Amino acid sequence: MSQVEPKKLKGIQAAPGLAHGKTALVSEIELEIPNYEIREFEDEIQRMMDAVEKGQGELIEIKKEVESRSEKNEAEIFEAHRMILEDVALIDRAKKSIKQGTNAEKAWMDAIEFFANMMEQIPDETLASRALDIRDVGRRVLGHMLGVSAGRTALTEPSIIVGDDLTPSDTVSLDKDLVLGFITARGGPTSHAAILAKAFGLPAVVGLGEAVLELSDGTMVLVDGDKGEVVIDPDEDLMSAFIEHEKKASVERKKARAAAQTPGVTADGDRVEIVANIGGVDDAPLGIKNGAEGVGLFRTEFLYLDRKSLPTEAEQVEAYVAVFEIYPNMPVVVRTLDIGGDKTIPYLDLPKELNPFLGWRGVRMLNGAEDIFKAQFRALLQAGGITGVDLRIMVPMVSGIEEIRSAKELMEGMKAELRSEGKPFAEKVQFGIMIEVPSAALLADKLAKEVDFFSIGTNDLTQYTLAVDRTNSKVAHLANPLNPAVLRLIKNTIDCAHAENRWVGLCGELAGEPLAAPILLGLGLDEFSMSPARVPVIKQVMRKLHKKECAELVQKVLDKSKHEEVIEESTAFLKELGIDL
């Protein structure tokens, strides 16, 4: 695609950093799905199962190969893929279709699409992104049935990887020394491209739309993972300026990493709690590595995925202990299970809903799925007792006071059970809630009396406040957490909590955004929880901020009418401090 003027595409920040280079479209080989009627369904089922078995064997070998390269996190992805192929509901659905006269390839891919579509309906981005994994596994098995490779083209020179929405299979064979960064048409901050980029320390911008797929191989692009922007065919002046900025940013990042293990403090010397968001045992060490002073959001959904039944209490205790031991004498905030809505995980048999984002999810599942939460509370309390960690438990999707009281009552009931059984457990546990529903933010004065802390989830709070689906590329640009309406809700939440001597954290993407740091500090936020990779950067920014000046900035931005004005004000503020975004 040739441009007279450099073209700029705006996407989603997935991994920080800057990179420039030529594009390489890692294109998917087209696989035709035959569709015809069959009569001998036993032979057809066997043909499908043979392909499934080959896929499993292939995934075992890939996992071993990846493990040999000391890439444990990526290796676990392929183990999860193998477990998808053991899913009884998936296999049974395909078999049923074959018995009704559909050929194996069509029956298999129909079953794959059925479960992938259900997964996409999950409100939680991390879980919704599993749809891509299901389709990836589906293509692998389809390739075996067709007798062709389902792989993608390889790299020949250092390149910016371009794709629709990269899967683990797309990237496992890439020469990592030739990858400069990732840009994709679809995906979100928890997509595989984002995870891989963060692991490699490379920039990534996702959700750029179809335009990025029109780029010819070898097109020069500038990738800004900090701003979520990609510039196509830059002119000489723009290229020179970007490279200079890239060099300066590299120096700043090295400084930030070097000072990552020092405490989070402002220029005034005030302590700021800077902690990590983690999604399981495997990525827990990344927080410590990057200087996090604890965990502000421990997502527990990983325990319920890629398996055939609910995790046992013992399995949960083991997983929680493994994470808690990585953060001795540090606060760890655990979010209870946050899935629901569509029939997303077969063994849970959840009811299908027209709008799962507004449905039976989070704390609302206490009414009807209480046993799941009983087991989770018991496991968390025991793991806390075993490790002595500073355990803090919060429940998501709270919209009113009765939900808080029900959850607290259940937790206290589990304490009483464990006490009567003589099992050691954490007696002193802080109990909090996620503020992600506007009603909770507006009722913060009442809710603060019921809890020990609030944790603001700006991703969902923004979506619900502005009535914008963040996954819809046509309106996603409207979902900016720096919208003054969202900032006013954050202010009310913090003010009401502080009036009751409660602390407030923020665990949305906003916490790891340098542009937001002075605003959140000025609002009085106590805890900043972010992707581990962002911790050194935010600590570096904090060292240059004075609370009084940040409070003055807040007065200005709260009076604005749109997020663009807020961004402009904060950018100017940071530039005066020598922080160039």
How far is it, in rounded angstroms, from Cα 343 to Cα 166?
A: 25
Q: Check 20, 81, 144, 192 and give the catalytic one.
A: 192
In order of 121, 124, 369, 475, the CA distances from 360 in angstroms are 13, 13, 10, 25
The reply to whether 507 belongs to the active site is: yes
Secondary structure (DSSP) of 359-382: SSBGGGGGTT-HHHHHHHHHHHHH
Distance, first Cα to last Cα, the chain: 28
- Give the SS3 label for residue 273: strand
The sheet with strand 179-184 has its strands ordered as 7-10, 229-232, 220-224, 18-25, 159-163, 179-184, 204-206, 12-15
Task: Show the CA angle centred on residue 217, arms to residues 216 and 220, nearest 5°.
Answer: 85
In DSSP terms, which residues pair with 506 in a beta bridge?
456, 528
Secondary structure (DSSP) of 95-153: HHHHHTTB-HHHHHHHHHHHHHHHHHT-SSHHHHTHHHHHHHHHHHHHHHHHTS---BP
The reply to whether 192 belongs to the active site is: yes
How far is it, in rounded angstroms, from Cα 210 to Cα 159?
A: 20
- Of 417, 406, 310, 307, the residue nearest 362 (C-alpha): 406
Secondary structure (DSSP) of 326-370: TSTTSEEEEEPP--BSSS-SGGG-PPP-S-GGGSSBGGGGGTT-H
Q: Are 164 and 186 a contacting pair, CB within 8 Å?
A: yes
Q: Check 144, 496, 507, 550 and give the catalytic one.
A: 507
Exposure string for 403-415, b = 16+ CB within 10 A, e = fewer: bbebbbebbeebb
Could you list the beta-strand ranges (E) of 153-264: 159-163, 179-184, 204-206, 220-224, 229-232
Q: Are 373 and 410 a contacting pair, CB within 8 Å?
A: yes
189, with CB counted inside 10 A (0-12, 13-18, 19+), is buried
Q: Are 60 and 283 a contacting pair, CB within 8 Å?
A: no
How far is it, in rounded angstroms, from Cα 319 to Cα 356?
A: 28
236, with CB counted inside 10 A (0-12, 13-18, 19+), is exposed
Tokens 């619900």, located at residue: 464
Tokens 């030529």, located at residue: 22
Which residues are known to be catalytic? 192, 507
